[in-house]
Amino acid sequence: MHSETQSHQPGKEHIMQDRPQYEPFYEGVGKFSGQVVLISGGDSGIGRAVALSFAQEGADIGIIYKDEDTDAKETKELIESRGSRCLLMKGDLGDIDFCRQCVEETKNKLGNLNILINNAGEQHVEENFEDISQEQLLRTYKTNIFSFVYLIQAALPYLKDNKGSIINNASVTAYKGNPLLMDYSSTKGAIVALTRSLSKSC
């Protein structure tokens, strides 16, 4: 076991020496057959594992990713090998218009929207709080929390009609903090607060 780093954000899973485990460890029974799931950051890592688990249960999957084309295509092939449809959408989740477009495209091309999974995130290691730049702060917040709000706003009308669900992926750093990921940790705390508040309003 060794540590791997990549200079580009987000990282590319297909070039990692130690690939994450993403295959479901069970036989699906069609729990989500006929449903459509939209996942931000669904091309790799946690997002890929979630996408395959839902596909294993019969769901069709919409995946939003930034620029990791090889990872996204590999995930699409894995999903389709399970008999599910997969729609790939490439772009910047910090852009509200792109987020709205992804929701509409999922609904139009896959025929429905039952579950939204906000999973996309980025982090930048910074030892000194004073050195967190405005550019880094805005970039981290746009990806980690603004995109959640944008996608939820666009998806809510469809999810309310379908009695659907929203799943927001946070992190243990929301509760424990991390001295090297201070801006990232704060976005995860914001996700927890957003989720609790949204659950009371819907």
Q: Amino acid identity of 22?
A: Y
Look up 184 and say whether it is catalytic: yes
* The residue count for the chain: 202
Q: CA triplet 134, 4, 41: central angle to 5 degrees?
A: 60
Alpha helices in 13-95 (DSSP H): 45-56, 69-80
For residue 139, give the DSSP letter. Answer: H
d(CA 34, CA 45): 25
Q: What radius of gyration do the chain's Cα atoms show? A: 17
- Measured CA distances, 50 to 22, 62, 116, 130 (Å): 8, 12, 12, 36
Q: Are 33 and 110 in contact (CB under 8 A)?
A: no
Instruction: Check 65, 150, 158, 184 and give the catalytic one.
Output: 184
For residue 142, give the DSSP letter. Answer: I
d(CA 94, CA 136): 13
Which are the catalytic amino acids? 184
